Amino acid sequence: MTRVTQAEDIGQLVRQRRREAGLTLKDAAGMAGVGVRFLSELERGKSTLQLGLVIEVLQLFGLELYVQSRGEHKDGSNRGEPK
């Protein structure tokens, strides 16, 4: 699992998966139903992109987005934090 702390982190993951799949920006954008410009800006870490479209691109590359409380383990337990 990769910790995401900024938009650039998501962009790097998407770019890596796209390149591993051997896809051009144009091909990947078409498959995800987004524009080439959008995908390019996502890969560069633009922070003002539409979250819904970002999630669609993540899904295309087999990536999922999770949100959890700080200090929470993947299993939902806390690390020594008061209950």
For 37-72, the pLDDT digits (tens) are: 999 999 999 988 899 999 999 999 999 988 888 887
**How far apart are the C-alpha atoms of 9 and 3, rounded to whole Å?**
8
The answer to whether residue 70 sits within a structural domain is no
Maximum C-alpha span of the chain: 49
The answer to whether residue 47 sits within a structural domain is yes
The answer to whether residue 71 sits within a structural domain is no
Taking alpha carbons only, the member of 1, 7, 17 closest to residue 66 is 1
The answer to whether residue 48 sits within a structural domain is yes
Q: Which residues pair with 72 in a beta bridge?
A: 78
Number of domains in the chain: 1
Q: Where residue 27 sits, what CATH number does that domain have? A: 1.10.260.40
**How far apart are the C-alpha atoms of 39 and 35, rounded to whole Å?**
6
pLDDT in tens, 13-41: 999 999 999 999 999 999 999 999 999 99
Please, what sign has the CA dihedral across residues 6, 8, 11, 17? negative
